[in-house]
Amino acid sequence: MVHVYNCHPFASQQIVQVEQEPGLFCSGGGALFVVVTGGCKVEAYNLEQEGCPLICRFGTMGTVRNIQYSKIGDYLVTIEEKNSATYLRAYTNWRYQAEERSRVGVRLLGHLLRGASQRGGAQMEIIEIPLSERPVSVACCSVTGDLLVGCENTLVLFTLRRQNQENLQNQSQQNVQSSSSLNSQQTFGQSEGHSSSSDHSVSILDFERSVIMHIPNFTPKKVALCSGYVAVQTELEALVLKLNTSESDALDESCDMSKTDLLEDQSDLLLIPRQQELLGSQAKNCDVPVSIEKTGLEDKGQYKLSYVLFRRFTPEFFTGCSVEETQLHSMQLHPLFTSNQSTSTEEPACVFCFFSLPSAGYLYSLKNGVELLSAYQYPERVLEAVLTDHLLHVITKNALQCFTVRCAAVAARIEEPYIDTTMKACPPSSLEVCALRMQLFIGLRSVCVHGPHVILLSTADTQTQEEPERVQQRRGLARRWTTSPPKESTPTGHGWNLYVVDTVSPLTLYNEMVEYSRQYAETNPSAQSLRHLLSEAHLLLCSSLLQTTEQTHRKDLEEALRENCAQLGDCFSRSSQKDCHLALPYYRMSGLSVTEVIARNRPLPSSPHSYGLGFLFYLNHYLLEETEEILSQESADEVIDIFSQSESSALISVCASPSMINISADRTLQVLHRLEDTAGVSVPLTITMATLALRLDDLQQFMQLLDRHAEMLLVYGFIEEPRLLIHGGGGGSQAYVRPTALTQQLAKSQPGLLVAGMVALHENNKVQLEQADGVFKELGCENCLLVDFWEATLMASSQDAVIQELLFRLTSVYIDRLLCTNPDKRSIFPQSPLRHKSLKSADDLINSCSHYGALYPWLIILCPPYTTSCLHQEALHKLQSLLCGPLSVGFVLPLLERLSDETMWGFSLHLLCETRRGRYDSSIGTLLDRCPQAIIAYANHHLQDKHLELWWQKLLPELCNRTRASADNSILLAALKETLVVVAAETNPTQFLELLPDDGTASYFLPHLLTCTQKHLLA
């Protein structure tokens, strides 16, 4: 379906004062090139000046059958006929003819002239391009300036080259007939501009044949070339290929199928092929084989060929139409650059392919996946069509018609990755097209476009009288599209005219679309036509912004785009359809504050008090997200009213939004009580009501509400609505998170509930570890509740990275607490003194957390309870418990360097690390030096299994030596007796005898020897 709007994209028109009847014409480089009918002359007119004055005219070497202009290189290429032969020629430096220079150089492709060319190209040159087959069509690449020539069964690609003056002087001493010397020349990547005779640095253009593509039985009617894409059009078939250079010699295998001759041996039967559309990789399944002929002149490896698009149509026959009038026409490859690109250095972000039948046109996107964007249905038979960035211009026999295009919708999504999210939006590329205008003319024949200029050739056929009915029918259709009067012929009296119709600026056309849209807005604000027209205006602005770099103009376009986004937001906010969610991104792009959006959606007093689904979606998502905008009390209360009337289930989340901090607590609490009466009691609702009671400083009601539910249920309520505890976040671990008023109160009155809630949020990925740290630090309890939070998280977490981080942090904190001997001394966290009793004791952690191990028995002997302060004792036991657990002591050793082993508790920690590292030999000696009464407990716990031999190899000799040398050896003797009991039980009599000292004290060991002997006799 094609929407019809009566807008005015055409601003003015003027007639080019051509003396003789035009035949062919093209435009580019600020000029209009006109080929005189039946003659050998080209006239160039200035399109940038009022009245289109003549720039120059020059003769051709034959009758021109086809003419094309290339902006890159500023050259013309023609297909000419002379003496029944067809030639391909390129005209360079044609602007010198404006200075009435009659001197023209003619040279062969690859052969440079010695004269004017060496002096900087101070004359027009005609380059003869030889071909083995008759050229049928020609195309120039608007990105590179390369040249594509379509012959009857081949396509020949010529690369544009540039030869500067120094190279020419050196080359003049060489063989000028060697065309292969052009291989070292650089690709000419930008327009030469307007040269003058005094500019001797002008580069000389030349072409190099790069590749030949053979397409048997596929005679091109028209070809197109753009950034490596090659398009070929026959009467009813369109084929698009992609040429890439490859370093390897391997080429894509061309299709082995041969095109079936449908008329072979069936001269009396016409077979019509089926319609077919093949996109992307499927296009290689078409029956059009393409092969590449190596020319030997390739620069970087070989060319690689891939199929992109193939489409075949069946003939469309109409009453009174010939077969030729039903064929494809107007094939075009159109590049589109974004604002971040430069046409001289980069490939276009998008490449589009357009071709047309007399009744319908087709626009495809080729890059990043082949896709049919739009299908245009024409109201009348179209003769030609031209695609531009903003619009599609088509001509019928008596009208110039203007349609919208979808190129900007594709380019915008390539440039902006956030489109089609909740952040940004853009009308889809599948949006139905619309016709903006039908401008009547008489006898239109051809059309071309250059910038804002649409050039039309009209030729009145005075000998053919149309049927009155068909005239009236067409005029009636025209009146349905436009109210403009038909254009008259020029007063000069001849039957042809060359018009230049200027289009208005996109901003002007946008303003008219906005004015047009108000007619729909007044009658039906949610009408589909209103949204469609505003979407067209949006794409028009997007297309202009993609290409506009001038800052003043760009600011105007950006301001218009914001206005358009606000209007689209209004449309979708009132929508009840599935696309109502688009109100959110459009309102965001508009830059409107939430207060302004509320005002735009406030129902009129005369209308029913209801809000659109799109507006509610926007408001809900806005309040769900963390923004800097804080609503006033009036606006916040209005939001409460909106949701209480339209979506009461969202009131909890609305009240938890940081933007709603200024709501009237008493008024809102009454609303929530009514919600509770209708919807029932829920934990998040109860917490929300408690928060509002806290704002009213009603602590009694606050506690009564929280006491309704068990602590675990309250924790589940925090998981369901995290913003009851924290505001901010959502942007990774570095995003700022701050505590709410409820969190501050819980830190004072119910710290256990606060810690449990924060652990639950962390474990459910509602808050990151660093963000939770920031919350507790802002509360001023980073050395109390923060450590409790770490301990509780260590109990709950299963993430190895989090566990290792928490073990390191807790070890550091415990050591810091042990070093803080003065109760008033600050810890490593300077904001908080060390005066807090932990929520979890060491015994609690040992019993409930696998990372805390049971204390070794000998540690109780080394550090008996109540020998230090309570807080120090708690920190010591927790640290000892960590070292007794599965903790790897490797990363703890640098932290323990801060602790001295002069104290017994410090010694116990160092001894623990040495023991965990398996250094039992040295540990036994150290322990005997500092606390021999603990040696048996130590040995009983550690000297087992593979370390059992240490009882008699290390411990027994140590005890014997120390007992003899000690004056007060009661502790050592007791330890020696315990050791002998173990040794006697684990060794045989012979081994036991070998262990006895030889200093005459054997009688002391005889009872143990007897015990050893008896055990072995019994065995």
Query: Which amino acid is located at 184 in the chain?
Result: S
Count other C-beta atoms under 10 Å from residue 494's C-beta: 12
Vertex 65 angle, CA 63 and 70, to 5°: 110
Give the separation between CA 557 and CA 560, rounded to whole angstroms.
Answer: 5
Residue 855 token pair: 């204390």
Q: What is the pLDDT of the chain when averaged over all its residues? A: 83
734 confidence band (pLDDT: 50, 70, 90): low
Query: What value does the mean pLDDT take over residues 31-59?
Result: 90
Nearest to 865 by CA among 902, 903, 900, 905: 905
What string of H, E and C letters represents the secondary structure of 952-986? HHHHHHHHHHHHHHCCCCHHHHHHHHHHHHHHHHH
Contacts of 486-493 with C-beta under 8 Å, sequence gap 24+, read: 486/398, 486/440, 486/441, 486/442, 487/13, 487/439, 487/440, 487/441, 487/442, 488/442, 489/442, 489/458, 489/460, 490/15
Query: Which amino acid is located at 211 in the chain?
Result: V
865 confidence band (pLDDT: 50, 70, 90): confident
Statement: residue 1010 has pLDDT above 70: yes
Are the C-beta atoms of 170 and 131 separated by less than 8 Å? no
Half-sphere exposure of 122 (CA within 13 A, CB side): 11
Query: What value does the mean pLDDT take over residues 673-696?
Result: 94
Give the separation between CA 41 and CA 853, rounded to whole angstroms.
Answer: 100
Contacts of 676-685 with C-beta under 8 Å, sequence gap 24+, read: 678/648, 679/648, 679/649, 681/708, 682/652, 682/717, 683/709, 683/713, 683/714, 683/716, 683/717, 683/720, 684/652, 684/717, 684/720, 684/721, 684/724, 685/652
Nearest to 5 by CA among 703, 530, 791: 530
Bridge partners (DSSP) listed for residue 877: none
Which of the two residues, 577 and 935, has the higher pLDDT score? 935
Strand runs labelled E in 37-103: 41-46, 54-59, 63-70, 75-82, 85-92
174 confidence band (pLDDT: 50, 70, 90): very low
Nearest to 562 by CA among 541, 589, 543: 589
The secondary element (H helix, E strand) that includes residue 617 is: helix 613-624
CA dist 568 → 526, 558, 593 (Å) = 10, 15, 15
Give the separation between CA 477 and CA 80, rounded to whole angstroms.
Answer: 40
Query: What value does the mean pLDDT take over residues 479-487?
Result: 39
Count other C-beta atoms under 10 Å from residue 890's C-beta: 10
pLDDT of residue 606: 61
What string of H, E and C letters represents the secondary structure of 234-258? CCCEEEEEEEEEECCCCCCCCCCCC
Statement: residue 637 has pLDDT above 90: yes
697 confidence band (pLDDT: 50, 70, 90): very high
Q: What share of the chain is helix, strand, coil (3-state, %, to 5)?
A: 40, 20, 35
pLDDT in tens, 596-608: 999 999 886 666 6
Nearest to 565 by CA among 428, 413, 426, 431: 426
Strand runs labelled E in 298-339: 302-312, 329-336
Query: Which one-letter DSSP state was computed for residue 199?
Result: -
CA dist 902 → 512, 615, 741, 860, 907 (Å) = 89, 71, 47, 18, 6
Burial class (CB in 10 A: 0-12, 13-18, 19+), 1003: exposed
Query: What value does the mean pLDDT take over residues 42-66?
Result: 92
Statement: residue 639 has pLDDT above 80: yes
Strand runs labelled E in 141-290: 147-151, 154-163, 186-187, 204-214, 222-226, 229-233, 237-246, 276-279
Statement: residue 256 has pLDDT above 60: no
337 confidence band (pLDDT: 50, 70, 90): confident
pLDDT in tens, 524-579: 766 788 889 999 999 999 999 887 777 888 899 999 999 999 999 999 998 777 88
pLDDT of residue 301: 52
Give the separation between CA 569 and CA 798, rounded to whole angstroms.
Answer: 45
Which of the two residues, 986 and 748, has the higher pLDDT score? 748
Phi and psi (nearest 5°) for 647? -150, 75
Q: Which of 31-45, 171-185, 357-371, 985-999 is predicted least confidently?
A: 171-185
Query: What value does the mean pLDDT take over residues 816-820?
Result: 87
pLDDT in tens, 82-132: 988 999 999 998 988 876 666 888 989 887 765 544 554 578 899 999 999
Statement: residue 155 has pLDDT above 80: yes
pLDDT of residue 517: 87
Count other C-beta atoms under 10 Å from residue 90's C-beta: 25
Count other C-beta atoms under 10 Å from residue 517's C-beta: 23
Burial class (CB in 10 A: 0-12, 13-18, 19+), 959: buried
Give the separation between CA 316 and CA 377, rounded to whole angstroms.
Answer: 14
Residue 75 token pair: 């050259």
Query: Does residue 875 sit in helix, strand or coil?
Result: helix
Give the separation between CA 976 and CA 963, rounded to whole angstroms.
Answer: 8
pLDDT of residue 202: 54
Query: What value does the mean pLDDT take over residues 7-29?
Result: 91
Statement: residue 512 has pLDDT above 50: yes
Give the separation between CA 393 and CA 449, rounded to whole angstroms.
Answer: 8
The phi-psi region of residue 815 (left if phi > 0; otherwise alpha if psi is between -120 and 50; otherwise beta) is alpha
Query: Does residue 679 sit in helix, strand or coil?
Result: helix
Domains of the chain, residue spans: 946-1019
Query: What value does the mean pLDDT take over residues 768-797?
Result: 91
Q: Which of 201-205, 554-558, 597-601, 936-940 is predicted least confidently?
A: 201-205
pLDDT of residue 704: 95
pLDDT in tens, 427-458: 999 999 999 989 999 999 999 999 999 999 99
Which of the two residues, 215 and 345, has the higher pLDDT score? 215
Count other C-beta atoms under 10 Å from residue 532's C-beta: 21
Query: Does residue 752 sit in helix, strand or coil?
Result: helix
Statement: residue 911 has pLDDT above 90: yes
pLDDT in tens, 280-289: 889 998 888 9
Residue 378 token pair: 């024409």
